[in-house]
Structure 1
Amino acid sequence: AWEQRKLDKVAEYRNGKGHEKSISSNGKYIVVNSKFVSTNGLVKKFTNIQMEPLVKGDIAFVLSDVPNGRALARTFLISKNNKYSLNQRIAGITPKNNISSFFLSSLMNRSPYFLKFDDGVSQTNLSKKDVENFAEMYPEFFEQKKISALLKSIDNLLAANQ
């Protein structure tokens, strides 16, 4: 049976830290900021200081964007350890043991729940409470994995045909 749960029951939330003073042209770590997330990792900044580490399975989530922007509520699923550092205005979401990272990232990515906070006039800033109150339906873990596999195969098919 699918069960509705708020994000704070299925994942841990944390905020990133400002890296502006530690940006370098060829640092060891990629700074995960809104431009990085909104371009799916194509636009990168680097640092040699990992202020807020992200680990494999974490989800980077954009909290702030200009009116009608395309970065707000975008997700980026972390695929490797010791490679990324979370910047300010980006949340780090760590799914709990019974939650598939890919499944949760897919649910959160540009969800209408988050987009309703954008009034189209002023900059949107999602709060920790806004994010933690995100409620969605969750099946059992094995079913999340099957759904995730199906979504990944569709993503791969679309990428191959573009």
Structure 2
Amino acid sequence: MEFKEAIGKLQKSKEFKDWKKNSPNSVLTYAFLMISPDVEKEWQVGYFNPKQETISTFTISEKIHRNPDSEMLKAGSIRELDVPKVKVEFDKALDTARRLQQKEYPEHKAEKKMMILQKLGIGQVWNLTYITKTFKTLNIKIDSSSGEILKHELLELFTFSK
């Protein structure tokens, strides 16, 4: 299920409509997807309530499920997503990331992949993190409007100090 399809399904659901009546000021701030062969794909989307400084998270798969609200520690950094500006869906962003990984980091194959659509200082991005078989993390940020790779880096998953 694509991002916009998932958001549409959520916004049409009774659970979301009932919640939104009580949280009219809440704004969409992220969409998360874990990609793993042994995990069913399900979107988790978060809505920030600035008055209460809480996040309401919905899980979207066959059914819609609302998780308990959680408090935000640093509410000042929360930015609203601009859904109409998402021109590059997750599958295209994932393909772009795959091509970059194969070209720049061929020895670091992904074991698990996490994608989050969020608004950062560099813009609204698909923020992909690969946990690799070499115990590293490959992070790739792709502009959600243009599909341009804005940043990529490979980091140690574990650092051991003496």
- Select the structure that is richer in helix: 1
- Select the structure that is richer in strand: 2
Q: Same fold (TM over 0.5)?
A: no
**Which structure: larger Rg?**
2
After TM superposition, the score normalised by the length of structure 1 is 0.28
